């Protein structure tokens, strides 16, 4: 099950579960679409992989399967 992390690891922008701007790599590193395009140029700085749009979990299932509240941020920047 995807964690649905709450923020961009690069700029710390909020990415709520319903966000269509959240991008993830195969290891679920999470970045906003702007950072993926403008800063990372489509390559994950953690694993070197590419990105896909993060799926949106239906709101009716968030109670049973909540999104993560743990914020992850690259301390050294992107």
Structural domains of the chain, with CATH: 1-61 (3.30.40)
* SS3 state at 68: coil
Task: State pTM to two decimals.
Answer: 0.93
Q: Are 2 and 55 in contact (CB under 8 A)?
A: yes
| CA atoms of 57 and 1, how far apart (whole Å) | 10
The model's pLDDT over 27-68, given as tens digits with 9 standing for 90+, comes to 999 999 999 999 999 999 999 999 999 999 999 999 999 999
Query: What per-residue confidence (pLDDT) applies to 76?
Result: 85
Q: Are 78 and 36 in contact (CB under 8 A)?
A: no
């Amino acid at each position: 099950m995807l964690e649905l992390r709450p923020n961009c690891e690069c700029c710390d922008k909020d990415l709520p579960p319903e966000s269509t701007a959240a991008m993830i790599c195969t290891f679920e590193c999470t970045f906003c679409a702007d950072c993926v395009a403008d800063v990372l140029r489509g390559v994950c700085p953690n694993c070197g992989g590419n990105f896909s749009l993060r799926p949106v979990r239906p709101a009716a299932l968030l109670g049973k399967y909540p999104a993560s509240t743990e914020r992850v941020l690259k301390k050294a920047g992107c």
